[in-house]
Amino acid sequence: MIQKNITYYGQRIVVACDEKCNKAWGMNSRPKEYFDENNEDDYAYLSDNELDEAPIDPGTYEGFEMSGKPETQEERLNKWCIRECERSYRGGLPIELKNFSKRIYNIPSLHIVNEVSKMDYSVWITLDGKRLKISEMTTDHIKNCIKMIKRSKFLDVMERYDTVPELPPRYVVDYDQYKPYLKTFTKELETR
């Protein structure tokens, strides 16, 4: 892994990558599988083992200098890497690089469960696909998850209610599938 500190839109951040430029296609060029023709955001980037080597020049460029995909080690972490490379990380510490040994879903909450043969109710999967042990979640996070699951109960019957409590549509889950978490979360809160 390589990394460096930069100023990005006026903020100090860390940029990093896994140095696998041979597998870097760019966010706009990496092959994807789409799942719902009515939702252009419902796709997954294909995993590295599903793809051949990426092109040396994927045809995308960034910045006034028209920075392209790096061709030498000295060019790494250029503007293309920071703005376009799907493998790069930008943010704070700790660094969390994406793992392209498996598909990366743009909307993980719609697909992660399908990859697991059985739901593990001792682990919570966040909207961005991170797996958290419930015993290590903060109390506030658990309470927010409980609220989200309870809100989701109303999704299928919204027309029966004049108002539905705190229902941002993006943050709902399949109530029947996630209902067992309510028991797990409640038990965890009782131990604190």
pLDDT (tens, 9 = 90+) of the chain, 192 residues, equals 999 998 888 888 889 999 999 999 999 999 999 999 999 999 999 999 999 999 999 998 888 888 899 999 899 999 999 999 999 998 887 888 898 988 898 888 777 654 444 567 888 887 667 889 999 999 999 998 898 888 777 654 444 545 544 444 445 566 777 888 999 999 999 999
Q: What is the pLDDT of residue 170?
A: 47
User: DSSP assignment, residue 64?
Assistant: T
CB atoms within 10 A of CB 29: 16
The CA distance from 87 to 135, in Å, is: 30
Q: What is the pLDDT of residue 34?
A: 95
Token pair belonging to 41: 């955001």
The CA distance from 78 to 32, in Å, is: 24
Token pair belonging to 167: 């229902």
> Which residues touch 160 (CB under 8 Å, ≥6 apart)?
none
The CA distance from 149 to 142, in Å, is: 11
Is 0.75 surpassed by the pTM of this model? no
User: DSSP assignment, residue 136?
Assistant: G
β-strands 123-125, 131-133: how paired? antiparallel
Token pair belonging to 171: 């943050």
